[in-house]
Amino acid sequence: MGIFDFIKSNKKAKSEKTEKPSPEQKLFSDKAMEIVIPIFEQFGFQKHRIEIGNHFSNITYRKKEQYLKISSTTHPKDYPHYYSISFGEGNSEGFFEFDWNSINLWDFQKKINPNRKLSNYDFPLKNELESSLENAKKDLLEFGASFLNGELNIFYQIRKERNQEREPYKIRKLNKDGKYETTYEPKSLELKKKYS
C-alpha cells in the first residue's frame, strides 16, 4: 500500500499540501511508512498529519501531548539533503513551538553515546533507502526508547540544555533615527525562557 492509499484510508489524518510530490519524496515517505512508522504505532502513537511536497515530507504521529515527526528535505537551498526524526511535546505544527520544543534523534544519541559520530541522516539514494531507514529504526529503538515509553526526563534535560545554548531569533530594522537596531523576536524569546 502506497502513502496515498494510506492517507485515503484514514479520514482523521490531516493531509498534505496541494503541491505535487516528487518521485523521491513519495518513495521516501512510502518506505518510511513501511519501515519506521510501525515502531511509532507499536508505542501507541497515532497518525496526526502527513505532508508530502516536491522537496519535502513531514509525517507526524501523536500520543496525547507527545509527538514524533519524520521530516525530509531535498530543496536545492537545503543542501546537503537530509531527513531526521524529531521528538516533541505540545504543538507539533507551529514553527516557533516546534523549533523550541522538540529535539532530534541525534540529540538523544549525543547524550547517551557522546563518542558516536552524529548528524541527521543523509537523504538516501534509491538503492540506499531501505538500509538507511532500517538504520534509523534501529537508532530510534536504541536511543529514543525512554521517549517512546513516555519517560520524558531525558527529553526535558536535553531540550533544556540545547535551548540554554541557543540565542532567540533576532530582528533587524531601521529605527526612527534611520539607524539599524537589532532586537530579539518576541515569540522566540518567550519560548527560550519557557524551555531553557
Cα distances (Å, whole numbers) of residue 57 to 46, 82, 95, 146, 177: 17, 11, 15, 26, 44
pLDDT in tens, the chain (196 residues): 344 443 444 444 444 444 788 999 999 999 999 999 999 999 999 999 999 999 999 999 999 999 999 999 999 888 889 999 999 998 888 888 899 999 999 999 989 988 876 666 899 888 999 999 999 999 999 999 999 999 999 999 999 999 999 999 898 988 888 888 998 999 988 988 888 8
By C-alpha distance, which of 144, 180, 169, 174 is closest to 69?
A: 144
What's the pLDDT score for residue 175?
Answer: 86
What's the pLDDT score for residue 150?
Answer: 96
What's the pLDDT score for residue 79?
Answer: 87
What's the pLDDT score for residue 192?
Answer: 85
Judgement on whether residues 89 and 15 belong to the same structural domain of the protein: yes
- Number of domains into which the chain is organized: 2
What's the pLDDT score for residue 63?
Answer: 96
Does residue 41 sit in helix, strand or coil? helix
Judgement on whether residues 25 and 112 belong to the same structural domain of the protein: yes
> Do 185 and 168 meet the contact criterion of CB atoms below 8 Å apart?
yes
pTM value is 0.83
Judgement on whether residues 76 and 138 belong to the same structural domain of the protein: yes
Judgement on whether residues 139 and 180 belong to the same structural domain of the protein: no
Dist CA 156 CA 101 (whole Å): 9
Judgement on whether residues 157 and 174 belong to the same structural domain of the protein: no
What residue numbers bound the domain in which 173 lies?
168-196
What's the pLDDT score for residue 2?
Answer: 42
Paired strand residues for 172 = 182
What's the pLDDT score for residue 5?
Answer: 42
What's the pLDDT score for residue 9?
Answer: 41
Judgement on whether residues 147 and 189 belong to the same structural domain of the protein: no
Judgement on whether residues 72 and 147 belong to the same structural domain of the protein: yes
Judgement on whether residues 124 and 173 belong to the same structural domain of the protein: no
Judgement on whether residues 152 and 195 belong to the same structural domain of the protein: no
Judgement on whether residues 107 and 177 belong to the same structural domain of the protein: no
Judgement on whether residues 44 and 116 belong to the same structural domain of the protein: yes
Judgement on whether residues 160 and 127 belong to the same structural domain of the protein: yes
